[in-house]
Amino acid sequence: MWNYSDKLKEHFFNPKNAGVLEEANAVGEVGSISCGDALRLMLQVEPETQVIQDARFQTFGCGSAIASSSALTEMIIGKTVEEALQVTNKDIADYLEGLPPEKMHCSVMGAEALRAAIANYRGEEWVDDHEEGELICKCFGVDAAMIERAVEVNALTSLEQVTNYTKAGASCKTCHEKIEDLLESLLAKQGKVPEPVAAKAPAAPALVGLGDIAPLAAPEAAKPATPAKKLSNVQRMQIVIAALEEMRPYLKQDGGDVELVDIDGKNIYVRLSGACSGCQMASVTIEGIQTKLVEKLGELVRVIPHTMMAAE
């Protein structure tokens, strides 16, 4: 059982402003059924005064998510839109007398829904920054793509720097190993190794507003990132075929061979043959091919023996 504050429990067991707001003129919907948290925030804004007259919510999620939604509505009713925009996820967590570190994302979802609703009210398109890819830091909702971007743009080389730039790992620390592994693989591409932990690591930034969590602000001195050129499927396939051709002479020297069977997104299926087929070192060969393809494609892919392909 999580160690929830009495205030949080009160907002979970007796949520305020739950349900549909028929008169809503601002609706923000954020979250993901796959992540287990989704929130629809409905506001009724008085156009002349810009005051939020009423707010209601519907939440799919855990106790913290429901309580954060309830708290958010209580916090913003009576505020102007501009005042409401100053509400951060930390404010929501503070209002609830704290959230367990692993549950901070619930307050982030509330802050995001608020911004989405206000954008909806203003007729703006609200684009969130939640990217595809493995979620690395669950406390702050930081995924692998965001860390990769931060590392590349800012030439980060240590866990502490990643935390300072993205907040990933600043809370419960359970993702530190994952961050370290990711950092190691990213630096390996550049022929670098991660820096050891500094004797005096810079303090992690305080929990602040959503704006600090969302878009990664590059330091002034740093050059803006050059967006990676997105390869077409044909280009990817050509690169894969060329890379395999490069490797085949080496495998043939050992009496083996490899051929491409299929490419399914990030999964690249290959067939080992000759001495490579059934070799006790086959997994090492597969790993070597994978390393080569990752290097050539500049993206993380998985090389899988064709025997592992899903049956039709």
Partner 1 sequence: MGIYLDNNATTRVDPAVVAEMMPFFTEHFGNPSSMHGYGAAVGGKIEWARGEVQKLIGAAFDTEIVFTSGGTESDSTAILSALKAYPKRREIVTSVVEHPAILSLCDFLESKEGYRIHRIPVDGKGNLDLERYEAALSENVAVVSIMWANNETGTIFPIELLAGMAKKVGALFHTDAVQAVGKLPMDLANSAIDMLSLSGHKLHAPKGIGALYVKRGVRFRPMLRGGHQERGRRAGTENAPAIVGLGKACELARESLPIERTQVAALRDRLETALVEAIPNCFVTGNPANRLPNTANIAFEFIEGEAILLLLNEEGIAASSGSACTSGSLEPSHVMRAMGVPYTAAHGATRFSLSRDTTAEEVDTVIRVMPGIIERLRKLSPYWTGQGAAAGFQPVYS
The residues binding partner 1 (CB under 8 A) are: 1, 12-13, 15, 18-19, 29-40, 58-66, 102-103, 105, 112, 116, 126-128, 130, 135, 138, 172, 174, 181, 278, 280-284, 286-287, 307-308, 311
User: For residues 136 and 168, what is the distance between their CA atoms, to the nearest angstrom?
Assistant: 7
- 35 assigned to active site: yes
- 172 assigned to active site: no
Residue with Cβ nearer partner 1 (110 or 164): 110
Rounded to a whole number of angstroms, the CA Rg of the chain reads 24
User: For residues 128 and 145, what is the distance between their CA atoms, to the nearest angstrom?
Assistant: 14
Smallest distance, Å, CB 67 to partner 1? Answer: 10
Q: Are 251 and 285 in contact (CB under 8 A)?
A: yes
Smallest distance, Å, CB 141 to partner 1? Answer: 9
Residues contacting 256, CB < 8 A, separation 6+:
272, 273, 274, 275, 276, 277, 279, 285
Smallest distance, Å, CB 234 to partner 1? Answer: 30
Smallest distance, Å, CB 242 to partner 1? Answer: 26
DSSP H or E segment with residue 148? helix 144-154
Smallest distance, Å, CB 100 to partner 1? Answer: 8
Give strand ranges (E) for 134-265.
Answer: 135-137, 142-143, 256-264
How would DSSP label each residue in 45-103? EETTTTEEEEEEEEEES-HHHHHHHHHHHHHHTTSBHHHHHT--HHHHHHHTT---GGG
| Catalytic residue, candidates 35, 62, 172, 279 | 35
Q: Which residues are catalytic?
A: 35, 106
